[in-house]
Amino acid sequence: MSETNDQKNILPDAEIDLGEMGCGDLIIALMKALKLLKDGQVMRVRSLDSGAQADIPSWCRMRGHVFLAGPCGENNEYYYIRKGGCT
Amino acid sequence: MAKFMVSITHAKDNSDNATVGFVVANASAASGVETVVFLTTEGVRLSSKGYADDVHEEGFAPLKQLMADFVEAEGKIWVCSPCFKKRGLDMNNLVKGATIVGGAKVVEFLTTGGSCITY
**The pLDDT of residue A82:** 97
Strand ranges across the sheet with A78-82 = A14-17, A42-46, A78-82, A66-69
Q: Cα–Cα distance between A24 and A15 in angstroms, integer?
A: 20
**The pLDDT of residue B21:** 97
Residue B38's nearest CA partner among B108, B86, B88, B90 is B108
What interface predicted TM-score (ipTM) does this complex get? 0.71
A49 close contact with B: CB closer than 8 A: yes
End-to-end CA distance of chain B: 24
- Cα four-point dihedral sign A12, A17, A21, A26: negative
**A60-84 pLDDT per residue, tens:** 998 899 999 998 765 589 999 999 9
Look at B102 and A26 and tell me if their CB atoms are within 8 Å.
Answer: yes
Look at A50 and B103 and tell me if their CB atoms are within 8 Å.
Answer: no
In the predicted structure, residue A87 carries a pLDDT above the cut 50:
no
Best of A25, A50, A61 to mutate (most B CBs within 10 Å, chain B): A50
Q: Cα–Cα distance between B44 and B100 in angstroms, integer?
A: 10
Contact A44, A80 (CB under 8 A): yes
**B63-87 pLDDT per residue, tens:** 999 999 999 989 999 999 999 999 9
Structural domain of B62: 3-118
Among A49, A61, A62, the residue with its CB nearest the CB of B102 is A49
Look at B82 and A22 and tell me if their CB atoms are within 8 Å.
Answer: yes
Residue B98's nearest CA partner among B39, B32, B19 is B39
**The pLDDT of residue A1:** 47
Chain A residue closest in CA terms to B112: A62
Determine how many CB atoms are found less than 10 A away from the CB of residue B42.
18
A70 close contact with B: CB closer than 8 A: no
**The pLDDT of residue A3:** 58
Residue B71's nearest CA partner among B112, B106, B36 is B36
Look at B104 and A49 and tell me if their CB atoms are within 8 Å.
Answer: no
The enclosing domain of B38 has a CATH number of 3.40.1260.10
For residues A25-29, average pLDDT: 89
**What are phi and psi for residue B56, nearest 5 degrees?**
-145, 95
**The pLDDT of residue A54:** 92
Residue A16's nearest CA partner among A5, A24, A26 is A26
pTM across the whole model = 0.83
What chain A holds in terms of domains, given with CATH numbers, is: 5-82 (3.30.110.40)
Going by pLDDT thresholds of 50, 70 and 90, the confidence category of residue A52 is: very high
Please count the structural domains in chain B: 1
A50 close contact with B: CB closer than 8 A: yes
For residues B85-101, average pLDDT: 96
